Each structure stands twice: as structure tokens, then as C-alpha cells.
A and B are shown apart, each in its own frame.
Chain A
Amino acid sequence: MNGFSPKITRRHFGALLAGSAFTLAAPAILRADTGPRLVVIGGGFGGASAARFARINYPDVNVTLIEPYDSFVTCPYGNLILGGRRELPQITHSYDGLRARGVDIVQNWAKDIDPVAKQVTLADDTQVAYDKLIVSPGIGLRWDAIEGYDEAASEIFPHAWMGGDGSQISILRRQLEELPEGGVVGLAIPPNPFRCPPGPYERISMIAHHLKQHNPRAKILAFDAKDGFSKQGLFQEGWEELYGDLIEWIPASEDGTIVAVDPQEKVFISEFGERHKVDVGNVIPPQYAAAIARDTGLADESGWVPVDPLTFAAGTAPDIHVIGDANIGAPMPKSGYVANSTAKQAVASAIADLRGESPPQNPVYFNTCYSHVGEEYGISVAAIFRLDDDGEIAATPDSGGVSPSGPLSEQAHNRRREAEYADAWYDSITTDMFS
């Protein structure tokens, strides 16, 4: 049901509206035809939030969302599929809610941007004109970074780090179910910066949760290209208490960096040449901004896009605002919540500029990242970001931070509440994107 079929739907109102109550209304009235044109590339946490926010707050603005897939599979909560606690349909979201709000959904790839003519070129060479463009394309995987790890290899060693059509997370789930008794699950975890800093460690937790119930003699070897990670103390405390020696985390300083893989032999090869045989391998490769951001020159030599922290306008093109994982937003993490939060400031700034007004001043960008460590065991990190005196993004002092540490005997209530709050977050934020 989730798949890419390149077809232009933006003038096919009849098809858009089929099956909804709106079929009785004349379709053209659902959207203004004379207002400014806001075009959004990418229908994920940044792009869907931007499109919805724009329709609610600026009803005179025409909003077009260009997205290659017909529905969105979230990366957040994908790890719960591995833990056996969610199924794919529960993390798959339709664009029908945005259509009902009058967002023009164009199911296609954006392959080029002309910042002078102000138009986006689609895969079939159709042009989409814009007055303001929001680019929220997410990440690209660096297929050149780990020797032997290419797109074909990801069918054997799935990355499961982009939602796509849901096939990657489904492959990994199936492999875990078929893991031989006492088998080895290897993970290769990338250096910073990458999408969802706590994600690999929640993944380790959810895989352990599955194995503890179904394959308790199995082992997880988590090879990391770093020596530290998000919420490290809390994760390791939880792993020790819930999973004992089922999990082994190997940091970069202990030769944890995986530089090559041999998918046929099912081997990970470390920086110092150690060959590690695994039964299931999850390779999360190094990342950069998605192709549309790199191919058009929006990204700099780092592979990510520099932006104005107040408006998210790209340094190279003032009418293009780049949000979500593709931009350089540090110290903000590449998280869904940050994409959602900054999407609103980017849209408000873009519309203000069209009206000859100033962007909203003194923005507050909000983030909370919840992670599930086990059943009824959630942890979080929160931060409130602002612009400092130099106009750079900075965490607000003396606020935010991680959940309190401590043994489950003392923290059971907090851990259970945070697991419940994580579920509330998922439902709330996806409502804020798609309803």
C-alpha cells in the first residue's frame, strides 16, 4: 500500500477527493488560486508539519507538497517493530488529512531546483513554480563510506534508517525472527552528525527486548564509530538491569569503527582489520543531506545545508528554507521534534517575507527525544533552544537534560510514565503533521 508511483496528482482533484465527503464540493474552492505559492519538498516531520501549519495559519497561501511516497513511514517507533510492539501499519501515515486541508499533494521526486526562475523540476521534467520553497528532504546515506556497503548490500544488511516504503525495517524484523538460536546480531553505528542521535541505542534496546523473550542465548554486538552517545548513562543502566550481558557495546577507542562489510560472508570488518561474523547485521551508514540538497548546491562541503538560524533560509538562496535533518542545526539534534518545531518558524518567516514583514523574533525551538529501553521503560532528553547574543542557536541554560538515573527499584514510576509519554508524543506529533 505504501509505494512510489510517479504520477502528477496536483490537478487531478477528482482523484484526490474520491472517497471523501469533499466529493460533493467543487474541488477548486478548497484552495486559493491567486494567493502566494508555498512549495514544500518532502512529506516527513519537517515537510508535513510545514504544509499543515501553513494551511492552518495562512489560508490564503497555496501549499503544494512534493513527496515521492504515497504515505509516510516514520523512523520514530520503527524500533518498536523490532521489539515486537508495533506493526508497520501503525507507523504508516496517509496524506489524506493534508489533502483535506487543501494541501496539493504531488506524488513525485523533486530532482532539481532553479532558484532564479523559482521552480522545482520533478522526475518527469514537470515544473512546479514557487514564491517560497521549503526543502525538507531528510538524509542521504553515504554509500561510499563503508566498503562493500551499497544499496544491494542493504537487502542483506538492512540500514532501516529511512522510512521509505517500510521494507527496510520489515527486512530487519524478519531477520531477527529467523535468527538462529544463540546467534549474533551486529550493529554498525555511525559517527556524528546523524539522524536521531538516541535511535541506534533504542534499537539495541528493542532488539534485546525481542531476543530476551524469544532467543535469550543470542548476543548483540554494537560497533560504534564514537566513544559516547546520547543518554548513554541511562541506556547502559537500563541495559545492565534488563538485559545483562546480552548487549556488548564496542566504542571507537576499542576498535568499534566498522570500515567495511562482506554481506555474502556476513562479516563486519573493523578499522584495525578485525573480522566479526554476524548472523544478522544492521548497518547504519554515515549520512549527509538528501540528494536534492547536495545536487543543487544548497549543501556545503560538509554535506549538510547551512541556514539562517532565525528563518532557516539557505545561505545561498534566500527564498529557499531548509529544515529538518538536512540542515546544520547544531546544537539541535536531527530529530523529528526539531524538524516539526523549526518548520513552523521557517514557514512563518517565509510568509512574513512575502508580506514585507519581519520574521517572528526570539524564536524558541523545542525538542524532546523519548526512547524505549524496555517494556514500560522510557527515558528522555529535552531541550529548549534559542538564539544567543550572536544569533547562533544555543540550548537555554539551566533547563532541559535527561531523565534522572537510578535503579528500577527507585525509578519504576518515572520509567513507566515516560514510556506512556513517549506514546503520547508519537500520537500528538503525527497529529500535528498529518491531521
Chain B
Amino acid sequence: MSLLSQALRGGALALLLGAFAPVGAAQAEEIRTPMIAQGCAGCHGQSGAGMGAAPRIAGYGRDAFIATWEAFRDDERPATIMNRIAPGYTDEEVAELADYFSQLR
């Protein structure tokens, strides 16, 4: 592989792709999405950026994320579906999700 292609794959390609994607999404992709968070992208958009009625979860404060999750889990917060999803994850997994989404801007 040439130095040029290495450089391009590392940087210039990201810039090129960035021209097509919202800046936030391009930045977010630099933070590797943990496997546990992959399922979230099916509704909440790329890197938790939100999609239509599914709210943005990127940039959610870590403690607030965990508190919200626990409220869904305990059915203490109005919900249509997250109250069914939240009990399916362990505390450790929720902490990992909170760490990840709170890092995103």
C-alpha cells in the first residue's frame, strides 16, 4: 500500500465522506461504537443522532442516561416501547451505553 493511499484512507477519505454526512455524524464515527450500542442505531439514527420521532440520545449526560434508563426499566416514566426494552439490559451494559452516548456531541 502506498503512503498516499494510507494517508488518504486515514484522513482525506474521512473529509470526503464528511462532505456527504452531517458533521456530527462524521465526528461520531471517530468514536468507535461498542457492539452493545449497535442495536440502538436501528431506531435512534446513526451514532444516536435521532431520527424523526425517535429522540436524539447522543450527548445525553452519563448520569441522566442511566437515571432515564432506570426509570424506563421500573416503568416510572411514560413510554411506549423503551419500558419494554430497558429491562433487557444489565447495569453494566447500561453503563457502557451511557459512557458511549455521553461522549458523543
A residues near B (Cβ < 8 Å) are: 21-22, 25, 28-30, 32-34, 53, 56-57, 59, 100-102, 337, 340-341, 344-345, 348, 360, 363-366, 368, 380, 382-384, 396, 398-401, 403, 414, 417-418, 420-421, 423-425, 427-429, 431-432, 435
Cα-based distance from A32 to B1 in the complex (angstroms): 7
Contact call B87/A398, Cβ cutoff below 8 A = yes
* Contact in complex: B36, A417 (CB < 8 Å): no
CB-defined A-B contacts under 8 Å, sample of 23? A21-B20, A22-B16, A32-B9, A53-B38, A100-B20, A340-B42, A341-B39, A341-B42, A345-B35, A363-B35, A366-B42, A368-B85, A380-B81, A399-B88, A417-B53, A420-B53, A421-B80, A423-B53, A424-B43, A428-B44, A431-B46, A432-B42, A435-B21
Whether a CB of chain A sits under 8 angstroms from the CB of B64 is no
Binding site for A on B (CB under 8 A): 1, 4-5, 8-9, 13, 16-17, 19-21, 29, 32-33, 35-36, 38-39, 41-46, 51-54, 80-81, 84-89, 93
Contact B13 A30 (CB under 8 A): yes
Residue from B16, B39, B43, B51 whose CB has the most chain A CB atoms within 10 Å:
B43
Decide: A423 near B42, CB < 8 A? Known: A22-B16, A363-B35.
no
In the bound complex, do residue A417 and residue B80 qualify as a contact, i.e. CB atoms below 8 Å apart?
yes
* The 8 nearest A-B residue pairs measured at CB: A366-B39, A384-B88, A399-B88, A420-B53, A424-B54, A424-B52, A399-B87, A428-B51
Across the two chains, which residue of chain B brings its CB closest to A60? B9
How many Å from the CB of A427 to the closest CB on chain B? 5
Taken together as a complex, chains A and B put the C-alpha atoms of A109 and B70 apart, in Å, by: 48
Residues of B within 8 A of A432 (CB): 41-42, 46
Shortest CB-to-CB span from A17 to chain B, Å, is 12
Q: Tell me the smallest distance from the CB of B34 to a CB of chain A, in Å.
A: 10
User: Does B85 contact A382, Cβ atoms closer than 8 Å?
Assistant: yes
CA distance A241 to B41 in the complex (A): 34
Q: Is the CB of A101 within 8 A of B9?
A: no
Q: Cα distance A25–B14 when bound, in Å?
A: 13
Find chain A residues with CB under 8 A from B35 CB.
344-345, 348, 360, 363-364
